[in-house]
Chain A
Amino acid sequence: MNAPTHPFASDLTLPLTEIDVADPKRFELDCWQPLFSRLRKESPVHYQTVGDLGPFWSISRFDDIVEIEKNAEVFSSEPSIAIIDPLPELDIKNFIAMDEPSHSLQRKAFQPVVAPKNLTEFESLIRSRTRAALESLPENTPFNWVELVSRNLTTQMLATLFDFPWEERQKLSMWSDAAVSDERITGKADLTLEERQLMAVDIFESFSKLWQERLDDGVESFDLIRLMQKDPNTKDLINDPVMFIGNLLLLIVGGNDTTRNSMTGGVIFFNENPSELEKVRNDTSLIPSMVSEVIRFQTPLPHMRRTVTRDFEFKGHRMKEGDKVVLWYCSANRDDDVIKNPDSFVIDRESPRNHASFGFGIHRCMGNRLAEMQLRVLWEECLDLFESIEVQAEPTRLSNNFVRGYSELEVVVKRN
């Protein structure tokens, strides 16, 4: 008798009603693709009652996700954009989990810092820091790419955006990790509720201090704290600690966990597809297109969630007020109705920007051009500096249904 090779080998045979689509282990083992392929075919608008996080709807097709994200009135982002609801003991709020008009008012305050015009000013700084980080890597010796490159560079970027004290910048990635380590989405008790509450206090205290120091100091700067202080819609945010911490965490996670994992994913994809690396080595004008393909193939955030505001029929399914609707971006990015040959990593595909990783509609990723720029600079420098970046072992992936990422990727680099 052939025993199943892994716990999800039955994804193609069990009745769909018995499957927990959100099981974080499926992402840890990187075996989520067959289930979502089946959902797209057999039950693209799927209602699940089983599992710890049920009941909820799973939307797996690209076009259906676009349609739902267009209808923000029926499909609300409150109270949460992850499958799980906020805990009453840790109920922080932020603009991604708010509807109009409040959402746009707050988002607009932050948007200028990540507008491409402003990013141009940052680019040379990002490049020199990226170069320095890459030049300091050990040669011909295995090391963890996640730690020394991905995590290091995204933490530096965050510290730059906040103008955060440089020597304390590790706090930023620590907070980012903690924010997405709720055991309901990881299936593991990494941090206790009390530890996470203490961290929220730490965030508030650290940023309150910076806030007070910068208040009316007359310095012209585009850092996120001064932008908040300048904008009428956010200038008093510090008086609302729940919203203050929430928005800070949103910017920290948004600018950290996502790009960090695309920085690691790219190395893995090129090791699996050496001919694609050759293409870009031979023609570096393909780098922007390659960056979009890495972001699609990685899909750093596998899902976003909406909540139905009134009884509504969607594609023949009757959704009820209060129902959770989970939009599986990871599945949309493998939908061959929209993306040709979606399970292949092809760096020069037609319309590479047409992917689901940034979401759609009013909540579409605000920092998308910053993410693309960081990845472009990283690869321009890597191609210039290294002859090869060889993966030594299978990566260690996160058990998490909200962040598709890595904690370890052992590589060896060789200089040109």
Chain B
Amino acid sequence: MTDMMESVVPRIIFVQADGSQSEVEVSRGHQSVMEFALESGIGGIDADCGGSAVCGTCHCFVNDPHMFGAIEPNEEAMLGLRPDRENNSRLSCQLSLSDVSADTTITLPEFQM
């Protein structure tokens, strides 16, 4: 039973704007989804500011918004400037990898600015 529990590692399915997909198993660690994506070689994220929620260039769309912590005012302010803002928009630098409790899909936008 224990063995089975440990073997269930959630995956993030990253979907690029052109529809191409990459599935990555979530490794343990206290990273943000942005850092994890960059380390995993996922394209479509610029992350100019390196994770301070002050540039807006790690924008993504999450399929399971409830899985992650609430949007803080700083993140909201930066998302508010995106011309392609949607209800499920997030800055991936503000998403904690440890919140990924089950397989989930994250879609990258057409561009970062």
Contacts and interface: CB of A to CB of B under 8 A. Distances in A.
A70 B74 contact: yes
7 contacts: A111-B81, A354-B48, A354-B50, A361-B77, A361-B78, A362-B78, A362-B81
B112 A116 contact: yes
B92 to A, nearest CB: 15
Contact of A66 (B52, B77, B113): B52
A69 interface: yes
B49 interface: yes
B46 interface: yes
Given A66-B49, A353-B46, 16 more contacts: A66-B52, A69-B54, A107-B81, A111-B113, A115-B113, A116-B111, A116-B112, A117-B110, A358-B48, A358-B55, A360-B49, A360-B54, A361-B78, A362-B78, A362-B81, A369-B113
A70 B113 contact: no
Interface of B: 46-50, 52-57, 74, 77-78, 80-81, 83-84, 110-113
A361 B113 contact: no
A354 B46 CA distance: 10
A415 interface: no
Contacts of A360: 49, 52, 54-55
Given A108-B83, A111-B83, A116-B113, A354 B54 contact: no
Contact of B54 (A70, A111, A112): A70
Nearest to A361: B54
Specify the main secondary structure of chain B where it touches its partner.
loop
Interface string A330-363: 0000000000000000000001011000101110
A368 B54 contact: no
A237 B28 CA distance: 53
A231 to B, nearest CB: 11
Contacts of B113: 111, 114-116, 368-369
A353 B48 contact: yes
A117 B48 contact: no
A117 B82 CA distance: 13
Contacts of A368: 113
B113 to A, nearest CB: 5
Interface string A358-396: 101110100011000000000000000000000000000
A104 interface: yes
A364 B83 contact: no
Interface string A81-117: 0000000000000000000100010011001101111
Contacts of A115: 83-84, 111, 113
A112 B111 CA distance: 12
A108 B52 contact: no
A178 interface: no
Contacts of A114: 113
A72 interface: yes
Nearest to B113: A369
A203 B52 CA distance: 39
Contacts of A362: 77-78, 80-81
Given A108-B81, A361-B78, A117 B49 contact: no
Contact of A104 (B48, B74, B80): B80
A115 B84 CA distance: 10
Contacts of A361: 54, 74, 77-78
B91 to A, nearest CB: 12
Contacts of B81: 104, 107-108, 111, 362
A327 to B, nearest CB: 12
Nearest to B80: A104
A361 to B, nearest CB: 5
**The 6 A-B residue pairs with the shortest CB-CB distance in the complex, in nearest-first order:** A116-B111, A360-B54, A353-B48, A354-B50, A361-B54, A369-B113
Contacts of A69: 54
B80 A364 contact: no
A364 B77 CA distance: 12
A115 B54 CA distance: 18
B38 to A, nearest CB: 10
Contacts of A353: 46-48, 57
B54 A66 contact: yes
A356 to B, nearest CB: 10
B73 to A, nearest CB: 9
Nearest to A101: B80
A100 B81 CA distance: 11
Interface in A133-189: none
Contacts of B74: 70, 361
Contact of A117 (B54, B80, B111): B111
Contacts of A72: 77
A69 B53 CA distance: 11
